[in-house]
Structure 1
Amino acid sequence: MENVMVDHRAAAAAALAEQPDIDLSVRKQREALSAPAVRLFLNMADRWQLSVGDRQVLLGGIARQTYHNWQSGRISVLSRDQLERVSLVLGIYKALKLVFADDEGAMRWLKSPNHDVPFAGRSPLAHMLRGGMDDLFAVRRYLDAWRGMK
């Protein structure tokens, strides 16, 4: 079997925009996506009852003031990295909705220790909060594979 490298950044960008022709290196396109992406992320983070610190980590370690500016509606143009992170987190949120019959089951899975390979005894959320883009991708890939088996 051939080993294929996946362009994770392109996949995340396309997932966020729902259009494969979005180019996040183009500032105008990032500008158009930034405010909706932040609003979606904040709504999802509220549902997951994430702390401000957890939200900052998932967004790539943004400053507390930046987070509070975004929360109050003063949203600057997000970087490519930030948009990709939002895309991954929203993809995880959507996958949880598809895999679990109810929010309680999804939250229990997200926050409970998991001994499957990518998590090494950590909860999937704790794995995501390690802060790396690869950590977000690991959870997203796990859920996508799980969805494929159901």
Structure 2
Amino acid sequence: MAHAYDNHNVFARILRGEIPCYKVYEDEIALAFLDIMPRIDGHTLVIPKFPARTLLDADPDKLGELIKRVQKVAIGVKNSLGAEGLTLLQSNESAGGQVIFHLHFHIMPRWEGIELKPPASAMEGPDVLEKFQAKIAEALR
């Protein structure tokens, strides 16, 4: 059974400006911002501006445009932070690990020997988030 998109989810509220975020990139298709409970330094989220609950119910044409933005942001994150690699995570439905039911991609820069923290383990401080926001946003200008 398909679930309806909830226009009151936290990402929809961020898109409407009701909740602030640490924005690193935005255009007519997507918004990218830092995860406030990062699993690693520079953990960035990319969300579509169109309503889609999961990858499975997203319009394929819009999804094609979104993935171009995911790639652009991933390159910016990797280059700006000198990462050795990236983990791209995209979860669907509760059983798949999805917690917020608005399609989103996690971009996590990676370095040898540095493990990811568990999901939602700790809120990061504004000073740290602002530092990474400035570096990544500059690379995406």
Which range, TM-score by smaller chain? 0.3 to 0.5
TM-score by length of 1: 0.33
Higher alpha-carbon Rg: 1
More helix by share: 1
User: Which structure exhibits the higher relative contact order, with contacts defined as CA atoms closer than 8 Å and separated by 6 or more residues?
Assistant: 2
TM-score by length of 2: 0.35
